[in-house]
Structure 1
Amino acid sequence: MRTAVALLLSLAAATTTAAPLPPAARAEVDALLARLQSSGCEFNRNGSWHSGSDAKAHLLKKLDYLEGKNLVTTAEQFIARGASSSSMSGKPYLVRCAGKAPVDSAQWLTAELQQLRAPRAASAPR
């Protein structure tokens, strides 16, 4: 009986272990957040505008939560599940850059991800 209980507890612990993003995906997310931080753009969540640095800090907290729940394995999943809208209000996040209308953060981050990947795609063997 003790052996069965110990086995069940170890299986339960194994299935609830948090998994960080794979290294390649983490590098992409880090690069996206660095771009947001250094872009000079503002980030809107729940009706308030924040700096790129504040946005990065907030999104890193959301990434940590998502990793803890094993909900992300790609940069696209991070954008969709953590960086697109408020988990509190459901309102979409926005990015506003100088002289441009605000856009959904998912659109802005996806475009930046495509730019990050473009040099790799161009140099990939065919």
Structure 2
Amino acid sequence: MNFKAIFISLMLVAITNNSSASQAPPSTRAEIDALFKKLQVSGCQFNRNGTWYSGAEAQSHLTKKLEYFENKNMIKSTEDFITHAASTSSSSGKAYQVKCGNNPASESRLWLLDQLNSLRTAK
């Protein structure tokens, strides 16, 4: 096999691998976007590895994680997003937290599931 044939073969493999990654279904993305908006407008803070962040900063971080897990075809539902991307730190394994006003901090998983339930109930 010559260099040109090897190159073409490698390019086809790369294209095939990239095309297998997909975004979450549109309805799931809509729910995730609504959760991001709720986090931003709530005034709540988001704790990641011991540091508190604004809703906008949390959204930026969680969007990157969402894209990472989408590229691995692991996001088929909003619950998948919450479980894989928005509950724990991939680096430390520590649970993320959400703190709203003077209320005690709670696990982000619980807060997001509660917000998701509210979204779905309002429909």
With normalisation by structure 2, the TM-score equals 0.86
Q: Give the length in aligned residue pairs.
A: 116
1:29 equivalent in alignment to 2:22: no
Q: Which residue is equivalent to 1:92?
A: 95
C-alpha displacement at 1:119, in angstroms?
2.3
Gaps of 5+ in 1: 121-126
Q: Which residue is equivalent to 2:54?
A: 51
Gaps of 5+ in 2: none
Q: Give the 3 Å change call, closer, same or farther, for CA 68–94 of structure 1 in structure 2.
A: same
CA distance in 2: counterparts of 1:113 and 1:52, whole angstroms: 16
With normalisation by structure 1, the TM-score equals 0.84
RMSD: 2.1
Classify the secondary structure of the residue corresponding to 2:102.
Answer: coil
Letter in 1 for 2:48: R
Letter in 1 for 2:67: D
